Chains A and B, each alone.
Chain A
Amino acid sequence: MKSKWLLLLLGAVSLSANAQPRLPQNYYWQKFDNGLEVVVIENPKVPLATIEIAVKNGAYTEGPEYSGLSHLFEHMFFKANKDYPDQEKFINRTKELGAIWNGTTGFERVNYFFTFDKDSLEAGLKFMNAAIRFPIYREEDMQKERPVVDGEFQRGESDPGFQLWIDVNKRTWGDLFTRKNPIGDHNIINTATPEKMMIIKDKYYCPNNSVLVICGDVKHDQAFQLAKKIYGDWKNSGFNPQEKYPIPEFKPLEKSDYNIKISSIAQTPYMMLQWMGPDYRNDSAGTVIADVFSAALNVNASKWQQALVDKGLATYAGITYQTCKYVGPVQAFVVPNPLKMKECYEEVVKQVKMWGDDNYFTDEQLQTAKENLLRDKIRNEEKPSQLPSTLTFWWCSTSLDYFTDYDNNMQKVTRADIQQYVKKYITNRPVVAGLIINDEMNKQYKPSDYFSTAKAF
């Protein structure tokens, strides 16, 4: 079963390079001559329009010398350009448009989005065009923005959840940690130059590495026309950045590893386990199975929830998988009951070892998980201004066909598929475990006596 629809998925990928991709109703797609893909989503729920540009950039394109600079670049997008030469003028223009705006930087995507009155669509597209194609990088602006970006980093470092995430990810990805760390490195951020910004722009900010999405109370014909008029002369870079600047392959984890981090701000302990999961390039079917598996474990009746949360060993025990083109992480995040931390960890280990068992899920639980994913889809489609971000995430890390076919493929996942997935990526595979705890609780509960992958996995 699995292999059949895996082939279907792979077939879809090869077709999509030249053909109109499959898309949901009211989604329209064009690829301009310069390589820019444009998707228009007609959704007249409220009289607003949202525009978003996403670029295949982010942590995965960053070696150590550029760690965090995709993110700094994202900030500089909102600084100065040929039409709005300083940030005050830029922001004033957003106010004139009455826009709600932001940008994000992740593993494999950098995106920028604006929402405004539907009648401001042309003005908004021009505004975005000036920012993405004609930015101005001045040393004085960068001097002011570097501490801002570093301040975002320090805010993260003031949170124990982030501290634990950094610790576990450093040990998961090793030498290639920068490829999974969008926030970056303090020193690199604080010494970034306008020249480095231009290097990023020239490498990745081209129409043939970007997608433009226009969504809301718009008509697709008019939206395509406007987009073509404004973005049609954006010059193709002449190369595929993913080919010219290849992403190094992550080496599989060789052995399990663990760490206990002491932090005075961790008022209650957090526990994290991470494995290297599937990726879209090598196992697109596995990426869908991973989502169903996570959903099945997060259902109240699952053995995982019953053993940990129902029994009072943990306040929270969630499993996530993030779809990536280059190795997606599978993560278990647990907030243990500090009074029962040893039992909690032992139960986590016990359960993980059983994840691949034939009877770990009932068919009913699996069906519930799938039904939940389908109903969540209805909720996820409720807010029109969020639709572009959902679409661009999949565009950057998978494909539009993958996005469109996702629900059907998810319904095809079987218990056997899940067993194979768990065996391939989790059971008997190296794991990285981390615990963050304050000094007082560390002395009281002595996690070093039992929190170890050496003894457990």
Chain B
Amino acid sequence: MSLMAEAGQKAFDLGVPLAVHVDVTYRCNERCVHCYLDHDDHGELTTAEIKGVLDQLAEAGVFFLTFSGGEVFMRRDFLELVEYARRLMFVVKIKTNAVMIGAAEAQRIRALNVDTIQISVYSHRPEVHDAITKLPHSFERTLKAICFLRDQGLRVTIANVLMTANLRDQEGTQKLAADLGVHYTLDPTITPMMDGDTSVLALRIPGEELPDVFHNPALVPNQEEFCAPPPPPSEEDLEGYSCSAGHSFCYISPYGDVFPCVQFPLPTGNIRRQKFLDIWNLSPQMNEVRSIQAKHLTTCSSCSHVSSCSRCPGLAYMEGNMRGPSTADCEKSFYRTGVPTANMLRQGLAKPRSTVPLIQIRPLAVPA
């Protein structure tokens, strides 16, 4: 186990919020077709309030701090907040569309020793990217910013959300990242809107397309292990937890609401009214989330994928039950391994992948 993984496990076991994601605004200069946010400002935390939150987070033991939005640079005080966070010795990661980053901003970010900048790019073709962001020339501006940041020696990652609108551009976008000399990450997850509207889910790529993602060695290097049928769950697996949400990770909205994760809209408290550590330690909702072990899950506890599934309790919550299955993750497990999930079997949805038979018969080795 790496030192970093050891620290993560220790934080998980001790209930220390090692990593926190803070959205500093929901306002944005883009209007991405798949975005789940309401971009109006309903009373964002002020500069002083956010600095107060950062003080509390440092005291609580938070080490990894992600600033995101909306678009973080819609706040004029954003770099002041980053500077404050760095003075408190957080590892700072920024998620941005980078449209508002010029040479001067890139230089400032470098000087502040920011760890990573993650930038959304949806295609290598300007017309496809701009059609998704709905901001003319956003591709050109984002790419220019990536070059500024890269030239400062910063670690830049292009983050691509795979959806129906850019499905065929995955390879090109990955090549673009390689040509620019930056990292690349891909996520096929589309999340329902914050108000519960699920119409945006129509942009999810069809499940049948997922094998092309999972079985692509350029995206998933450890093919054999990643796509292997799940091993039978052990007792230890059933004692395990879904993810770090509420255990060593949480999310804070621009209005001070605290949630177990950015993808888990279960309100647990508000830092305008309570101290962060009181919410973290005492919120009944937070404690409920962290009490759920695999053995408590409805349907999933009897699923062969229970030990290896990426089941997101937040997506399950949005489907109506935080202890239930997350359909999107059921699909991923199925198309990754070819083995149907308990939830799919229950609903009669399972079908074998056409390329890999579920039952494979190997010839017996005949002794000479």
Q: Do A and B truly interact? A: no
Interface of A toward B, CB cutoff 8 Å: none
Interface of B toward A, CB cutoff 8 Å: none
